[in-house]
Amino acid sequence: KLISISLQAYCLKNCITVNSDKCKSISFTRNRIVYKFNYLLNGTRIEPTDSIKDLGILINNKLKFDKHVNLICAKTYRILGFIFRTCKYFTCLKSLTTLYNSYVRSVLEYASVIWSPPHAIPVNKLERIQIKFLKYLHYKFNSNSIFNYDNYLVQFDMQSLDKRRTKLDVLCLYYIVNNKYDSNFLLSNINFNYSCHNTRSNYLFHKPSAHTNTFLNSPLIRIQKGFNTLNINNHIDICFDNTSKVKQLCLLHIESVCVA
């Protein structure tokens, strides 16, 4: 009740009109039993929900993004099917790849720094969409040879979606460290590793102890941990190198880590 009164007072003070019918309430918890509280706004009960979409990202009450991955997979499969039907008689390879990059891959990478999956099952589920597109190109332009996903990535100058998400993580960290994102909150949560003693650790960012996987896989912790793993030999100077050099070195080291 106090929350509802405070929210109404805030809206009234700032001359904000709120449509109560479009409002939802969500309780974030790791418990199996979720207690749904009744909130009133302008005399209207706010409907409780288990998941909510914010700026295009679907998140559930356990701070997981499984529903978001399922949603974008279903959406991109529909778009991919539309491209296959519409472009049945296309003979220009560049046109097809441009359509894929613009309408399919852009959806699969939107805000991936927030929801990038840490487990193999959703990673493979996302990757199968790009595999399906490359198989389509294979049977359309070169059906006599055996399909090989890695070879086609090299041939079309593409990277796997997992590697591209890793690159986007590094770029996000680069933009935060170099104040290209105007956010003091994000910058204050970047933990540089420093020690008064000589140690064998050459990690640039501090690795905090995590008691839960949710904290360990949270965006800011994940991108710092990922950069430490990627830049084990300190070839990337995230504070000095320009954006294009960071992208180039990032892709180079992603390939070397995958090969190793």
213-238 pLDDT per residue, tens: 888 889 999 999 888 888 877 788 88
Are 127 and 171 found together in one domain?
no
pLDDT > 90: what percent of the chain?
39
196 located within any domain: yes
How confident is the model at residue 260, as a pLDDT? 43
pLDDT recorded at residue 197: 65
Q: Is the pLDDT reported for residue 99 higher than 70?
A: yes
Q: How many domains does the chain have?
A: 3
Which residues constitute the domain of residue 108?
A: 66-158
Any domain includes 8: yes
- The answer to whether position 57 is within a domain reads no
- What pLDDT was estimated at residue 132? 96
Is the same domain home to 169 and 122? no
Determine the pLDDT at residue 238: 84
Task: Say if residue 168 is in the same domain as residue 222.
Answer: yes
Last residue of a domain, one of 131, 158, 185: 158
Domain annotation covers residue 7: yes
- 243 band by pLDDT with thresholds 50, 70 and 90: confident
107 against 260, higher pLDDT:
107
Taking residues 195-213, what's their average pLDDT? 76
Name the more confident of 14 and 5: 14
The closest of 43, 157, 52, 163 to 108, measured between CA atoms, is 163
Residues 223, 246 within the same domain: yes
- DSSP states of the chain: -HHHHHHHHHHHHTT----GGG-EE----SSSSPPPPPEEETTEEEEE-SEEEETTEEEETTS--HHHHHHHHHHHHHHHHHHHHHTTT---HHHHHHHHIIIIIHHHHTTHHHH---SHHHHHHHHHHHHHHHHHHHHHH-TTSPP-HHHHHHHTT---HHHHHHHHHHHHHHHHHTT-S--HHHHHT--B---SS--S---SB-----SSHHHHTSHHHHHHHHHHHHTTT----TTTS-HHHHHHHHHHHHHHHHH-
In this structure, the answer to whether residues 238 and 188 fall within a common structural domain is yes
Q: Are residues 173 and 253 in the same domain?
A: yes
pTM, rounded to two decimals: 0.85
Give the pLDDT score at 34.
Answer: 82
Residues 39 and 114 in one domain: no
96 and 141 inside one domain: yes
Sheet holding 24-25, edge to edge: 24-25, 44-48, 39-41
Average pLDDT over residues 114-120: 93
Q: Do residue 102 and residue 25 come from a single domain?
A: no
